[in-house]
């Protein structure tokens, strides 16, 4: 990968995921995982997220829908945080998950809603659920 492509990918990756997340990923990179980290920096972040055809809010919606469909639980929280960084509200994230549930199945959406609720509460975007599971948007 060229240095320019790597730099472009890292810039987009940091803007979408935040410096803390990217710094942790870099710090835990090993010789075994380095080729994959280079690949996603170039392919995902420079070549796809860096394209002009869709804004980042739309890309976040698509990403959350796909991760929900595939039940990629470990990735959903990261991309809920990214969606908030890209300007989506809790209500909009909920709509993406609800819409996805119709096409991907209720169990997949149920998992994603639980992860999103926890992540949005950690970000202070919504209140954590009380004992009855009720929370409110802030």
The three-point CA angle 5-9-10 to 5° equals 120
Q: Whose structure tokens read 């055809």?
A: 53
Going residue by residue through the chain, which has 138 residues, state the pLDDT in tens, using 9 for 90 and above.
899 999 999 999 999 999 999 999 999 999 999 999 999 999 999 999 999 999 999 999 999 999 999 999 989 999 999 999 999 999 999 999 999 999 999 999 999 999 999 999 999 999 988 755 555 554
Number of H helices, E strands in the chain: 7, 0
Residues in the chain: 138
Classify domain 54-138 at the CATH superfamily level.
AhpD-like (1.20.1290.10)
**pTM for the structure as a whole:** 0.88
Nearest to residue 82, comparing CAs of 40, 10, 19? 19
Domain ranges for the chain: 1-53, 54-138
């Amino acid at each position: 990968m060229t240095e320019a492509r790597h730099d472009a990918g890292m810039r987009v990756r940091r803007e979408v995921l935040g410096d803390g997340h990217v710094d942790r990923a870099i710090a835990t990179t090993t010789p075994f995982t380095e080729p994959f980290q280079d690949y996603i920096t170039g392919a995902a972040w420079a070549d796809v997220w860096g394209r002009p055809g869709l804004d980042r809010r739309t890309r976040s919606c698509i990403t959350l829908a796909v991760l929900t469909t595939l039940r990629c639980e470990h990735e959903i929280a990261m991309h809920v945080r990214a969606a908030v960084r890209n300007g989506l509200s809790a209500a909009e994230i909920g709509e993406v998950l609800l819409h996805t549930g119709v096409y991907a199945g209720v169990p997949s959406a149920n998992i994603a809603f639980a992860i999103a609720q926890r992540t949005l509460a950690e970000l202070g975007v919504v209140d954590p659920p009380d004992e009855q599971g009720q929370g409110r948007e802030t």
